[in-house]
C-alpha cells in the first residue's frame, strides 16, 4: 500500500512563517504515521517560484526573480530541519525537470482540445495571482484575502475550458463525499461550483517570469497551473534515474489552507482530467492560525507567534505538539506564547513527562531496572490495545487533533493508575510483590503504547523514551520538559 501526501508549495515572495510551518508539520506528522503503519510513503513539499507575486517582490528589491527565488527558497528549505520535518523531496518550480514536465502535460491538454485563445477582461489580485469572479470581490473592489485593490486586466490569453467540466465536477462531489474535507470546505467548494464554472486563463501574455507555453512562445503559463502540477511532476524526477509516478500517483492527500481551496478542489481535478490523468483521492482544507487576539496574524498588528521563539524557549517537539493540541485541525484557531507555555507545563511536563519519569524511576528502583515478567492489568490492557486502531481511524479522517486527544486520554488514565495502584506502598510489603509487578508491567505497556502513537508528533522525544523503555537495565532519564521561564 502506498501513501502520497503533499503540502502547498510556498511562494518565495516572503519569508517563511508559522503558517507555512503549520502545514508542513501536519504533513510530516501524517507521513510519519503512515510510514509506521508500514505503508510505502512519499511526502512532498517545496516552493512556488513563478508568477507575479514573486516577480513583483524581486522587482521591489531591485534584483532578478531567479536570484530572489534562490535566496528565499533556501530559507524555506532551512526551516524544515528546525521544525523536524523530513520530506522525501523538496520541489522548486524553477527546476528544469519540473518546467519540462509542465510543458508536456499542458501540451496534452492543448492537444486534447481543452484550450482556446481569447481576451480576458476582469478583476485580478496580483498577490493571490487569482482572477476573481464577481462573487469573490469584497467591498471597495478589494481582494477579500489581501484587502488590496484589485487591478483591471485586459489581455489576450489562452483559456482553459473549465466550463466543459461542470457536470463532471458536480458528479465528483456527489459520488465522493470525502474528496474534500472537512464538510465546511466541501460546502464552500460546492457553492462555488453551483454558480456555474467559467473558463479560466491558462497563460499570461504580459508576464515573462514563468514556464513558456510550448505552442505560443510569447506566453507563459498562468502560475497556478505551473504550481498545481508540482504534485505530479515531482514524482518524475525526485529520484535520479527512477520514475516514481506509477508507484505514487494519484496522491492520497493534498493538505491546503482554506484560501486556496478553489484551485485544489475544482481547477486541479479538471486540469488532470483534461490531460487524461487520474485525480487525487482527498484534499484536506485546514483553517488559519490567528493571533491571540483572534485576528489574522500580521507583522503590523504584532499579534503573530514567532516559530523561532517557540523553538528556542520550548523546543521543536513542544511546537509540533502545541499546534495540533491547541487548535483543532481543520478549524481556525488563536495561538500565542502564553498558551504554548501553559500547554508545555500542564500537559507535556506534568502529564506525559511525569508519566515517563515515574515509570522509568519505579522500574529502576523497585526491580533493578528489569521489566517484570508479569501480565498487565487486563482491563487497562484491553483499553490500551485499542489505541492503535482508534488513532489510525482518526488519521484516516485527517483528524490530527482527535488522534492526539485519544492518546492523551491514555496518558491521563495511566497517571491516574499510578495514583490508584500506589506502587511505592506495594514495594514496602514483600507480600504485595505480584501486585507491584502487575502495576509496573501495566505502566510499561501503557507508556510504550502511548509513545509509539505520539512519535509522529514528537519524534525526538519519543525516540528517547522508546530507547529508555527498551534498555536493560531500565534507568531514569533527565526531565524531558524542564521548567522554563515564562
Nearest distance from C-beta of residue 303 to ligand ME8, angstroms:
11
Site for ligand ME8 in 302-331 (CB under 6 A): none
Q: Is 333 in the site for ligand ME8 (CB under 6 A)?
A: no
Instruction: Give the position of cell 519505579.
Output: 362
17 catalytic per annotation: yes
> What's the CA gap between 129 and 126, in Å, rounded?
5
Under a CB-based contact definition with an 8 Å cutoff, are residues 249 and 234 in contact? Answer: no
**Parallel, antiparallel or unpaired: strands 40-48 and 289-290:** unpaired
- Residue partners of 19: CB distance under 8 A and separation at least 6: 257, 288, 289, 297
Site for ligand ME8 in 242-261 (CB under 6 A): 256-257, 259-260
Residue least distant from ligand ME8 (Cβ): 19
Under a CB-based contact definition with an 8 Å cutoff, are residues 42 and 2 in contact? Answer: yes
Q: Is 131 in the site for ligand ME8 (CB under 6 A)?
A: no
The site string for ligand ME8 over 180-219 (x = CB under 6 A, - otherwise) reads ----------------------------------------
Q: Which of 253, 208, 246, 255 is nearest to 64 (CA)?
A: 208
Cα–Cα separations (whole angstroms), residue 166 to 198, 303, 329: 9, 41, 30
Total residues contacting ligand ME8 by CB under 6 A comes to: 18
**Parallel, antiparallel or unpaired: strands 203-204 and 220-221:** antiparallel
299 catalytic per annotation: yes
Nearest distance from C-beta of residue 255 to ligand ME8, angstroms:
7
Which residue number, 19 or 182, has a Cβ lying nearer to ligand ME8?
19
Q: Please pick, from the candidates 19, 84, 330, 376, the single residue that binds ligand ME8 as defined by CB under 6 A.
A: 19
Which residue is catalytic, options 20, 33, 114, 219?
20
Cα–Cα separations (whole angstroms), residue 93 to 54, 241, 271, 381, 472: 12, 20, 18, 50, 50
* SS3 state of residue 229: coil
User: Which helix or strand (DSSP H or E) is residue 45 part of?
Assistant: strand 40-48
Which residue number, 31 or 228, has a Cβ lying nearer to ligand ME8?
228
Site for ligand ME8 in 260-279 (CB under 6 A): 260
Q: Please pick, from the candidates 3, 5, 20, 179, the single residue that binds ligand ME8 as defined by CB under 6 A.
A: 20
254 catalytic per annotation: no
Cα–Cα separations (whole angstroms), residue 342 to 290, 295, 350: 18, 21, 11
Q: Please pick, from the candidates 25, 80, 125, 227, the single residue that binds ligand ME8 as defined by CB under 6 A.
A: 227
Which residue number, 24 or 451, has a Cβ lying nearer to ligand ME8?
24
* Residue 140: burial class (beta carbons within 10 Å; 0-12, 13-18, 19+): exposed
Which residue number, 223 or 387, has a Cβ lying nearer to ligand ME8?
223
98 catalytic per annotation: no
Which residue number, 229 or 360, has a Cβ lying nearer to ligand ME8?
229
Q: Please pick, from the candidates 3, 4, 5, 22, the single residue that binds ligand ME8 as defined by CB under 6 A.
A: 22
462 catalytic per annotation: no
> What's the CA gap between 446 and 205, in Å, rounded?
62
Nearest distance from C-beta of residue 232 to ligand ME8, angstroms:
11
Sign of CA dihedral 270, 94, 78, 31: positive
**Parallel, antiparallel or unpaired: strands 289-290 and 333-334:** parallel
Which residue is catalytic, options 75, 77, 262, 296?
296
Cis previous bond, 182, omega within 30: yes
- Residue partners of 485: CB distance under 8 A and separation at least 6: 313
Q: Is 297 in the site for ligand ME8 (CB under 6 A)?
A: yes
Nearest distance from C-beta of residue 100 to ligand ME8, angstroms:
18
> What's the CA gap between 231 and 238, in Å, rounded?
11
Stretch that binds ligand ME8, among 7-15, 80-88, 196-204, 241-249 (CB under 6 A): 7-15
Which residue number, 51 or 376, has a Cβ lying nearer to ligand ME8?
51
> What's the CA gap between 218 and 213, in Å, rounded?
8
Q: Please pick, from the candidates 10, 173, 221, 222, the single residue that binds ligand ME8 as defined by CB under 6 A.
A: 10
Q: Please pick, from the candidates 48, 52, 377, 453, the single residue that binds ligand ME8 as defined by CB under 6 A.
A: 48
Nearest distance from C-beta of residue 242 to ligand ME8, angstroms:
24
Which residue number, 89 or 215, has a Cβ lying nearer to ligand ME8?
89
Contact footprint for ligand ME8 (CB under 6 A): 8-11, 19-20, 22-23, 48, 227-228, 256-257, 259-260, 288-289, 297
Give catalytic residues, as residue numbers: 17, 20, 125, 128, 143, 146, 296, 299
Amino acid at each position: 500500500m502506498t501513501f502520497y501526501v503533499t503540502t502547498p508549495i510556498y511562494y518565495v515572495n516572503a519569508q517563511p512563517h508559522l503558517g507555512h510551518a503549520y502545514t508542513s508539520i501536519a504533513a510530516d506528522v501524517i507521513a510519519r504515521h503512515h510510514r509506521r503503519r508500514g505503508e510505502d510513503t512519499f511526502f512532498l513539499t517545496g516552493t512556488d517560484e513563478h508568477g507575479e507575486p514573486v516577480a513583483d517582490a524581486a522587482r521591489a528589491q531591485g534584483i532578478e526573480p531567479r536570484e530572489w527565488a534562490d535566496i528565499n527558497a533556501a530559507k524555506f528549505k532551512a526551516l524544515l530541519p528546525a521544525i523536524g520535518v523530513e520530506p522525501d523531496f523538496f520541489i522548486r518550480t524553477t527546476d528544469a525537470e519540473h518546467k519540462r514536465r509542465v510543458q508536456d502535460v499542458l501540451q496534452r491538454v492543448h492537444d486534447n482540445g481543452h484550450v482556446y485563445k481569447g481576451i480576458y477582461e476582469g478583476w485580478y489580485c496580483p498577490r493571490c495571482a487569482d482572477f476573481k469572479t464577481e462573487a469573490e470581490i469584497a467591498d471597495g473592489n478589494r481582494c477579500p484575502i489581501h484587502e488590496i485593490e484589485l487591478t483591471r486586466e485586459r489581455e489576450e490569453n489562452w483559456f482553459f475550458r473549465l466550463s466543459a467540466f461542470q457536470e463532471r465536477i458536480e458528479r465528483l462531489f456527489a459520488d465522493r463525499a470525502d474528496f474534500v474535507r472537512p464538510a465546511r470546505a466541501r460546502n464552500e467548494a460546492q457553492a462555488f461550483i453551483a454558480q456555474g464554472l467559467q473558463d479560466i486563463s491558462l497563460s499570461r501574455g504580459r508576464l515573462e517570469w514563468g514556464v513558456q507555453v510550448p505552442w505560443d512562445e510569447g506566453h507563459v503559463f498562468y502560475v497556478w497551473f505551473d504550481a498545481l502540477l508540482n504534485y505530479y511532476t515531482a514524482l518524475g524526477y525526485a529520484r535520479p534515474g527512477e520514475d516514481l509516478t506509477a508507484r505514487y500517483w494519484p496522491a492520497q492527500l493534498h493538505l491546503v489552507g482554506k484560501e486556496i481551496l478553489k484551485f485544489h478542489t475544482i481547477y486541479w481535478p479538471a486540469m488532470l482530467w483534461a490531460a487524461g490523468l487520474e485525480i487525487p483521492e482527498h484534499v484536506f482544507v485546514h483553517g488559519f492560525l490567528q493571533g491571540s487576539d483572534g485576528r489574522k496574524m500580521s507583522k503590523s498588528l504584532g499579534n503573530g507567534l514567532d516559530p523561532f521563539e517557540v523553538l528556542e524557549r520550548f523546543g521543536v517537539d513542544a511546537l509540533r505538539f502545541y499546534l495540533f493540541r491547541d487548535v483543532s485541525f481543520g478549524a481556525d484557531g488563536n495561538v500565542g506564547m502564553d498558551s504554548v507555555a501553559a500547554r508545555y507545563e500542564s500537559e507535556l511536563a506534568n502529564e506525559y513527562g511525569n508519566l515517563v519519569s515515574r515509570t522509568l524511576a519505579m522500574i529502576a528502583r523497585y526491580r533493578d531496572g528489569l521489566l517484570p515478567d508479569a501480565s498487565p492489568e487486563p482491563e487497562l490492557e484491553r483499553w490500551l490495545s485499542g489505541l492503535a486502531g482508534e488513532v489510525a481511524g482518526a488519521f484516516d479522517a485527517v483528524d490530527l487533533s482527535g488522534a492526539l486527544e485519544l492518546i492523551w486520554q491514555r496518558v491521563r488514565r495511566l497517571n491516574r493508575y499510578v495514583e490508584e495502584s500506589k506502587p511505592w506502598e506495594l514495594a514496602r510489603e514483600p507480600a504485595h510483590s505480584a501486585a507491584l509487578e502487575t502495576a509496573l508491567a501495566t505502566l510499561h505497556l501503557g507508556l510504550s503504547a502511548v509513545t509509539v502513537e505520539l512519535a509522529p508528533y514528537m519524534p525526538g522525544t519519543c525516540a528517547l523514551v522508546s530507547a529508555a523503555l527498551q534498555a536493560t537495565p531500565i534507568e531514569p532519564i533527565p526531565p524531558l520538559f524542564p521548567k522554563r521561564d515564562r
